[in-house]
């Protein structure tokens, strides 16, 4: 059991490191990700590297090519913005339904996740905030009480996870995100589906609108 937990943590750490290199251009589109080279660089076995690459393939950051193995996928800023547009629409539908269909358990889960976001903001813990942020959104998807919508929105969230995680590094974004969560939660509690949907759309689409600035700042960080 301990070995499996340790392997899972190593794989997750590798996945995040590789994600950031892909997003910031350290691994450009078409670059081959060699398992042996990565394993040697990070001083790990090839097993967690292989697991990390499988996760990256599931989020479509890499693709498997015949005789080449895993290579970085093409992803233009325009394509990513289009994905954020779809994500924003899915979020707004989820929130609108959650405002109409939520029960006490749903509100408790959403509220607990938001409180965890506030705690992470107070402590300045980026990773803690990201995890709580993910729980906040998943709790809203659950509160929509639409299984198909939950699946589709969760899948899109997974595909954009690395970009949503890294954009939290933008100056002031944690505080803005937490404030936006409060507005969305208040609208859900009030049963105001239209306002909740509008706030949720704005909460997500801003990430796509500022994506170019985000990439520029992350790329600059990589050179320090």
CATH value at residue 61 = 1.10.10.10
Kindly indicate the confidence band of residue 25, based on its pLDDT and cuts at 50, 70 and 90. confident
pLDDT tens sequence across 31-52: 898 889 999 999 999 888 989 8
Give burial (CB, 10 Å; 0-12/13-18/19+) of 88: buried
Which has the closest alpha carbon to 184: 61, 89, 94, 58? 94
* Three-point CA angle 83, 16, 221, nearest 5°: 85
Q: What is the rounded average pLDDT for all residues in the chain? A: 86
Lowest average pLDDT, out of 38-42, 100-104, 191-195, 198-202, goes to 38-42
Residue 132 is predicted with a pLDDT of 96
Q: How does pLDDT run across 110-167, given as a tens digit for each residue?
A: 999 999 999 999 999 988 999 999 999 999 999 999 999 999 999 898 888 878 877 7
User: Residue 122 sits in which domain range?
Assistant: 77-222
Which of 22, 56, 72 finishes a domain?
Answer: 72
Least confident of 71-85, 94-108, 175-189: 71-85
Q: What pTM was estimated for this model as a whole? A: 0.76
Query: Which of 82, 81, 64 minimizes the C-alpha distance to 73?
Result: 64
pLDDT at 59: 76
**Domain final residue pick, 72, 93, 111:** 72
Whether residue 138 is found in the same domain as residue 214: yes
């Amino acid at each position: 059991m301990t070995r499996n937990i340790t392997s899972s943590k190593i794989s997750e750490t590798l996945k995040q490191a590789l994600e950031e290199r892909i997003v910031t251009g350290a691994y450009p589109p078409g670059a081959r990700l060699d398992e042996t080279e990565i394993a040697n660089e990070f001083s790990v076995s090839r097993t967690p590297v292989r697991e990390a690459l499988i996760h990256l393939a599931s989020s479509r950051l890499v693709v498997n090519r015949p005789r080449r193995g895993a290579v970085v996928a093409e992803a233009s800023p325009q394509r990513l913005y289009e994905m954020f547009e779809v994500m924003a629409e899915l979020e707004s539908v989820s929130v609108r339904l959650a405002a109409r269909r939520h029960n006490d358990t749903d509100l408790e889960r959403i509220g607990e996740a938001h409180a965890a976001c506030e705690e992470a903001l107070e402590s300045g813990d980026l990773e803690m905030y990201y995890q709580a942020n993910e729980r906040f959104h998943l709790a809203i998807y659950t509160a929509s009480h639409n299984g198909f919508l939950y699946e589709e929105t969760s899948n899109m969230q997974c595909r954009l996870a690395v970009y949503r995680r890294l954009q939290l590094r933008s100056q002031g974004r944690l505080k803005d995100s937490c404030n936006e969560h409060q507005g969305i939660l208040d609208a859900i509690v009030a049963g105001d589906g239209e306002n909740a949907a509008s706030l949720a759309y704005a909460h997500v689409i801003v990430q796509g609108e500022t994506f170019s600035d985000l990439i520029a700042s992350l790329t600059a960080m990589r050179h320090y």
